Structure 1
Amino acid sequence: MIKTIAVNQNYQLIHNLDATELVNGNYLWYWIDFHQPSQSEIEVLNSPLQFHPLAIEDCIFTLQRPKLDYYEDYTFFVTQALNPTTITKEEIDFFLAENFIVTFHHQPSPEIDEVWNRFSLSTKVKKWHPSQVLYHVLDKMVDNYFPLVYQVEDTLNELDENSKGRSMEALLEDLFDTRHQLLALRHTVTPMRDLVYRIINSQRMTKMQIKLEYFSDIHDHLLKLTEMVEANRELASDIRDSYISLNSHQTNHVMKVLTVITTLFMPLTFIAGIYGMNFHYMPELTWRYGYFSTLFLMFLVVLGMSLWFKKKGWFK
C-alpha cells in the first residue's frame, strides 16, 4: 500500500495523490509511505521516483545494517525498529531530500503511523519539513527501545532475586534467552547510535534544514541505551557466574561429606575383610568375646577418626 501527503504553496495538506503527480507537481514538499508494498508498488521507486538501483535493492532485501548513503539529489537511510513482542529487528528505509521524504517498510510501523497521523492533523504545517518527519520517526523508534531494555532489566532482577531454589538448567535457560534478547538490542542500538552520529556530523545534512540539536538529543538517548544494554549484559554474566560458583560450592560440599563417610568406612571394611577370610587357624575366631571386641574396636576407630576430622574442620 502506498500513502501520500503533500504540502501545496498555500501550506495546505493534500492526500492520496499519485506519485507521478507529486514528482511533476508544484508542491513545497511531499511524503510518500510504502507500507508493505506489492511488487508493482515497489516499481514506483524506479519510475517515476527514479531512485538509484542500489538503494532500491537495499529496500527489497531487508535487514541491512543501519547506514547512510549519499546520492546526487537525496540521502538514503537504513534504520531499524524493534518488534516489542519478539524483540526482532524490522527495517525502515528513508529517502530524504529538501522537497520530499519517502519511507519504505515491509512490516507495520507504529512509529510512522503515529507521526503520519500527527502531521495529518497538524494546524502548524509551516513548521513541518521532510527532515522534521525523519526526526520524529527516529525519535519514536528510539523511545520504543527503552521499554524493551527496561523489560529485560526487570527480568534479570527477578532472576537474581529468585535464583535460589531453582534448578540450574531452568535458570541457565532463562539467562541465555535474556542474553539473546540483549544481543539483539545491542545489534540494533549500537549501529543506530553510529548512524545518528553520522547525521550530526554530516555537512550535507545542514543543507536540509535539519536542526542538529534535536538529533543530538536522539544520540544522547542511544548512548544511554548502549550503557544500559552493556550493564545488563554484565549483570547477566554475573548472575550466571555466581550461580555456577554457588552450584559448584554445593557440589564440592556434597562430595566432601561423601568422602568423609567413605573414609570412615574404609578401616571398618579393612577389619571386616580380615576377619571375613576363611582361614581355619585364626585365634580370634574361637575367642568367646572376639565378636564384641571387634565391634568395639570398629566403634573406637570411627569415633577417633570423627573427632580428628572435626578438629581439622572437615565437617563445616
Structure 2
Amino acid sequence: MIRTIAVNKKNELVKDLTIRDVLNGDFHWYWVDFNIPTDEEIEFLREPFHFHPLAIEDCIHNLQRPKLDYYEEYTFFVTQALNQKMITREEIDFFLSKNYIITFHHQFSPEIDDVWNKFTLSTSTEKWDPSHVLYLVLDKMVDNYFPLVYQIEDRLNEIDENSKRRTMEELLEDLFDTRHHLLSLRHTITPMRDLIYRVLNSQRMSSIQGKWEYYSDIHDHLLKLSEMIEANRELTTDIRDSYISLNSHQTNHVMKVLTVITTIFMPLTFIAGLYGMNFHYMPELTWKYGYFATLGVMVLVAIGMSIWFMKKGWFK
C-alpha cells in the first residue's frame, strides 16, 4: 500500500494523492509512505522516482545494516526498528530531500504510523518538513528500544535473585537466551548510534540544518542504550561465572565427601581382602574370636581415621 500526503504553497495539507499528482503538483514538500508494498508498487522507486539502483536494491533486500548513503539529489538511510513482541529487527528505509521524504518498509511500522497520524491531525504545518518527519520517526524508534532493554534488566534481576527457586540448568538456559537478546540489540543499536553520529558530523546534510540538537538528543539516547547493553552483558557474564563457580564448588564438595569415604574404606577393604584369600595355613581363621577381633580392628581403624580427618578439617 502506498499513501501520500503533501503540503502546498499555502501550507495546507493535501491527502490521498496519486504518485503522478504528487510529482506533477506544485507542493512545498510531500511524504510518500511505501507501507508493505507489492512488487508493482516497488517499481515506482525506479519509475517515476528514478532512485539509484543500489538504493532500490537495499530496499528490496531486507535487514541491511543501518547505513547512510549520499546521492546527488537526496540522502538514503537504512535504519532498523525493533518489534516489541518478537524482539526482532525490522528495516525502515528513508529517501530524504529538502522537498520530500520517502519511507519504505516491508512490515507494519507503528513508529511511522504514529508520526503519520500526528501529521495528518496537526492544525499547523509550519514546523513540519522532511527532516522533522525523519527526526520524529527515528526518535520513536529509539524510544521503543528502551522497554526491551528494561525488560531484559528485569529478567536478569530475576535470574540473579532466583526467587522462583529454579534449577541451575533452567537458570543458565534463561541466561544464555538473555545474552542472545542482548547481542541482537547490540547489533541494532550500535550501527544506529554510528549512523546518527555520521548525520551529526556530516557536511552534506543541509536538509537538517537547524535541527542538530534534536538529532543530538537521539544520539545521546543511543549512547545510553549502548552503555546499558554493555553493562547488562557484563552482568550476564558475572552471573554465569558465579553459577559455574557455585556448581564447581558443589561438585568439589561432593568429590571431597566421596574421597573421605573411599579413604576410610581402603584399609577396611584391605583387611577384608586379606582374610578372604582362604589359604589353608592361616592361624587366625581357626581362632575362636578371630571374626570378632577382625571386626573390632576394622571399627577402630574407621573411627580413628574419621577422628583424624575431622581434626584436619576434611568434613567442613
Uncovered stretches (5+) of structure 1, i.e. residues with no partner: none
User: CA shift at 1:291, angstroms?
Assistant: 1.2
C-alpha distance in 1 between matches for 2:191 and 2:57: 20
Structure 1 residues 181 and 279 mapped into 2: Cα distance closer, same or farther (>3 Å)?
same
Task: Note if 1:25 corresponds to 2:25.
Answer: yes
C-alpha distance in 1 between matches for 2:90 and 2:36: 12
Aligned AA (2:36): Q
Structure 1 residues 166 and 7 mapped into 2: Cα distance closer, same or farther (>3 Å)?
same
Compute the TM-score of the two structures, normalised by the length of structure 1: 0.98
User: CA shift at 1:299, angstroms?
Assistant: 1.0
In the other structure, the counterpart of 1:46 is 46
In the other structure, the counterpart of 1:244 is 244
Instruction: Say which SS state the counterpart of residue 50 (structure 1) adopts.
Output: coil
In the other structure, the counterpart of 1:84 is 84
In the other structure, the counterpart of 1:167 is 167
Superposed CA deviations along residues 79-103 of structure 1, whole A, max 9, x for unmatched, are 0000111111100000000010000
User: CA shift at 1:47, angstroms?
Assistant: 1.1
C-alpha distance in 2 between matches for 1:283 and 1:52: 105
C-alpha distance in 2 between matches for 1:171 and 1:111: 35
Q: Which has the larger displacement, 55-64 or 277-286?
A: 277-286
Aligned AA (1:7): V
Q: Which has the larger displacement, 148-157 or 197-206?
A: 197-206
CA contact (8 A) 1:29 1:100 kept: yes
Structure 1 residues 163 and 245 mapped into 2: Cα distance closer, same or farther (>3 Å)?
farther
Task: Note if 1:293 corresponds to 2:293.
Answer: yes
Aligned AA (2:189): V
C-alpha distance in 2 between matches for 1:144 and 1:207: 25
In the other structure, the counterpart of 1:35 is 35
In the other structure, the counterpart of 2:5 is 5
Aligned AA (1:112): I
CA contact (8 A) 2:97 2:207 kept: no
User: CA shift at 1:168, angstroms?
Assistant: 3.0
Q: How does 1:255-266 map to 2 (within 5 A)?
A: 255-266=255-266
C-alpha distance in 2 between matches for 1:307 and 1:179: 48
CA RMSD between the two structures: 1.1
CA contact (8 A) 2:4 2:15 kept: yes
C-alpha distance in 1 between matches for 2:109 and 2:207: 28
Aligned AA (1:262): T
C-alpha distance in 2 between matches for 1:209 and 1:110: 27
Uncovered stretches (5+) of structure 2, i.e. residues with no partner: none
C-alpha distance in 2 between matches for 1:207 and 1:2: 24
Identity of aligned residues (%): 74
In the other structure, the counterpart of 1:204 is 204
Compute the TM-score of the two structures, normalised by the length of structure 2: 0.98
Instruction: Say which SS state the counterpart of residue 126 (structure 1) adopts.
Output: coil
